Amino acid sequence: MFSSLTSLATRLSSPEALTATHEQAEADVEAGSRELGRLLLQAHLEWRARHEADHLLALDPQERAALAGGRSRLEKGHRRQLATVLGPVTVTRCALRGPGMTNLYPADAMLGLPHGRHSLGLRQLAVLEAARGSYDTALEAIDRSCGGRVAGKRQVEDLVRAAAVDVAAFYTARTPHPAPAQTLLVISVDQKGIVMRPGHLREATAKAAAKARHTFRTRLSSGEKSCRKRMATLAVVHDAEPAGRRPHDIIAPPGGRTGVRTVRKGPTARAKWLTASVREDAETVIAAAFDQAEARDPEHHRNWVVLIDGATHQRELIQAEAARRNVTVHVVLDIVHVIEKL
């Protein structure tokens, strides 16, 4: 570790450094700092390994057995690799063993190590970057941040999927904060077609794709559909305080005809709950949105507003769900979708 710091300081104070651009010096310091951080983390893990070994060796077999569910045999020097945002490190720890029993590693629990090779910090970085765009873009961002390849594309995909397994359960167990009766309860639903592999199309779409006969080989003619998409349904539920506005606050240029009128601000969404699924049908997703809305207003004291784009199927499902729950909803059509038909 000290040699790494000395080497970096020597490079920055060498005669060659006098002719380096600031970009070159910056890159050298960045790489050296990352390596120094990795060595510091490695040294910390080795210090903890020595402390753990001394602690467990001081215990007699009966004490170790009581600590580890009957495992009294101690083995030192068990190692596992850990990929971190600073680079790869080695975790050395002790194993407590017993006849016919799997090894127990107390240090793994103390360090909070995941089952896989990648650290929680690296997993968090993968989730943050994957939410911004494609997996390829996320992988490039991770490589830039970590100074080199610490995970492959398939590994990043697995890390994101693993991080998402508790999302639905988290929102199911979460109790919405109550809101006063004058606060609007807003639901919005939309759908988006996603190109699927043939084996993952819904039954009706797969049959239509099998019967389809296209005029051209390389493109679709007017009115033809590829029959390759499956509809993903998205829904959001949020609270909003009423914000009175007039039409020209929405569709007129800022300032109105005179250029001096102050535009009234629209409502602000808060306490948003979002869901989306390409696996479940629209009816299931809309029912989940109404479940969330009803959890916020079980007595139906608030005004429920539903924003849609005018799709007949969505509107019918929403009206049926509202009738089933005996709640009055105010359906609003998105002006962007409606205006082109006027």
pLDDT of residue 79: 96
Strands 184-195 and 229-240: antiparallel
Please list the alpha-helical segments (H only) found in 252-339.
282-296, 312-325, 335-339
Distance of CA 325 to the CA centre of its chain: 32
Please give the Cα distance from 301 to 272 (Å, whole number).
19
The model's pLDDT over 15-49, given as tens digits with 9 standing for 90+, comes to 888 888 888 888 888 888 889 999 999 999 999 99
For residues 85 and 122, is the Cβ–Cβ distance under 8 A? Answer: yes
Residue numbers of the chain with a pLDDT score lower than 50: 223-224
H/E stretch holding 137 reads: helix 135-146
Residue 112 dihedral angles phi and psi, to the nearest 5°: 65, 40
For residues 226 and 179, is the Cβ–Cβ distance under 8 A? Answer: no
3 state SS of 211: helix
pLDDT of residue 82: 95
Provide the token pair at 143. Answer: 């490589």
Please give the Cα distance from 142 to 288 (Å, whole number).
35
The model's pLDDT over 114-152, given as tens digits with 9 standing for 90+, comes to 988 999 999 999 999 999 989 999 999 999 888 888 888
pLDDT of residue 256: 63
Domain locations along the chain: 2-8+25-163, 177-209+226-242+266-339
pLDDT of residue 336: 77
What's the predicted TM-score (pTM) here?
Answer: 0.68
Q: What is the CA radius of gyration of the chain?
A: 30
β partners of residue 95: 75
Strands 184-195 and 87-97: unpaired
Amino acid in the structure at residue 20: A
Considering the domain 177-209+226-242+266-339 in this protein, what is its CATH number?
Answer: 3.30.420
DSSP 279: S
Provide the token pair at 217. Answer: 């080989």
pLDDT of residue 272: 92
H/E stretch holding 195 reads: strand 184-195
